[in-house]
Structure 1
Amino acid sequence: MKRFLEILVSLILLIILSPLFLIISILIKLNSKGPVFFTQMRIGENNHLFKFYKFRTMRVGTPNVATDRLEDAKSYMTSVGRLVRKTSLDEIPQLINIFKGDMTFVGPRPALYNQYKLKELRTQAGVHVLVPGVTGWAQINGRDHNDDFQKTELDRYYLENKSVKLDIKILFMTVFKVLRAEGVLEGKNKHIEEVEHNDSIGN
């Protein structure tokens, strides 16, 4: 039943948001050379890899690592990319991942294929059995400010307490956080004194 609802809701949202899809796609193409979508291999349920979709916010040729690993992430961003990233509109294409079954609306954020430490910690905590989400408990409790250990503990909390009520709370809090652009950090230099090894939600 849950899977049926995810397919239905993601399809409805894709249809409703199709004009926004088109506008953002045109702006990206006019602003810089390269594809509209940024795709990347991410770690999914039970550590299986899947192709992850976002709107491209970086210039072609940007190193394929989490943005906090870049010395100056903003220098790689396009002007349109800064806007869609700040408003989290770059996450909309993940509705495709939900429709395909790679992701769900609420769950641990999918780690990059090369975030081996986070993968190891999540596996040890049993978090790897969860389907990754567009948003999650860690995203409304620090997001980029959390290091791998903190993210894993927050994801473990979600695993042990997941419920419809908690999912609804996370979704509402996500909207609030996005509107205030809370927890978003761009680039290694900006927060190197705060956290050395946190992962962002990707390029």
Structure 2
Amino acid sequence: MKRLFDITFAALGLILLSPLLLIVAVLVKATSAGPVFFCQERMGRGFRTFRIYKFRTMVVDAPKLGGQITAGRDPRITTVGHFLRATKIDEFPQLFNVLRGDMSFVGPRPEVPRYVEQFRDDYAELLTVRPGITDIASLKYRHESELLGASSDPESTYVNEVLPDKIALGKEYLQRQSLGLDLQLIVKTVLRMAA
């Protein structure tokens, strides 16, 4: 049932959002050098890696220039990128990941392999389901970049405070998961985007 929901609404979303996706793609390409999409390896269901798609919001080779953590007003973020991140429009290409079966609309957010390996036992439980575009942690940490920007050591704060809490919230989702909860989280996510 959940997979049917994902396929139906991912396809519908891509069709309905196609004009916006085209406009964003043109803006990204026209305002900074590099590709339209940012692709990154993430860990998926059953520890199977996949490439997540987002609109590129940072300069080319940003991870090589300053690591994988983005904190505060990171100078690697482009002008258009700030808007896309604030509105979460940069996440829209993940509808392709949902359609392909890499992700679901709702589920624990996919993490990069190196962080998964640090908490492998926890992720053995979390990755029994497809990771999602949104979840309980996504709503709680909507302004994660600002939180990390206020830290003197963003990497340490992420690994020792934020990520363990996200894992706990992911486990909470697994215990409570249902179509009703998924719909509730989707509606809350859309309302936060519109706010």
> TM bucket by the smaller chain?
0.7 to 0.9
Q: How many residues align?
A: 177
Structure 2 unaligned residues grouped into runs of 5+:
148-160
Partner of 1:81: 81
- The percent identity for this pair of structures is 37
Equivalent residues of 1:111, 1:118 under 8 A apart = no
| Structure showing the higher helix proportion among its residues | 2
Give 1:119 deviation, angstroms: 4.3
Relative contact order (alpha carbons < 8 A, sep ≥ 6): 1 or 2 greater? 1
Extract unaligned runs of 5+ from structure 1: 181-203
Per the alignment, residue 37 of structure 1 pairs with: 37
2:129 corresponds to 1:130: yes
Superposed, which structure 2 residues align to 1:36-185 within 5 Å?
36-63=36-63, 65-68=67-70, 74-116=74-116, 119-123=119-123, 126-143=125-142, 144=144, 147-180=162-195
Letter of the 2:164 counterpart: F
Structure 1 residues 132 and 118, CA gap change in structure 2 (3 angstroms) = farther
Distance across 2 between alignment mates of 1:163 and 1:118: 29
Aligned to 1:186: none
In 2, the alpha carbon distance for the partners of 1:121 and 1:175 equals 32
Q: Report the CA distance between 1:165 and its aligned residue.
A: 1.4
- RMSD after superposition: 1.9
Contact 2:134 2:189 (8 Å CA) reproduced:
yes
Query: Which residue is 2:7 aligned to?
Result: 7
Listed one character per residue, the Cα deviations across residues 148-200 of structure 1 (whole Å, up to 9, x for unaligned) are: 211111111101110111111111221233334xxxxxxxxxxxxxxxxxxxx
Instruction: Provide the secondary structure at the position in 2 that maps to 1:67.
Output: coil
Which letter does structure 2 place at the counterpart of 1:97?
A: N
CA distance in 2, matches of 1:55, 1:142: 20
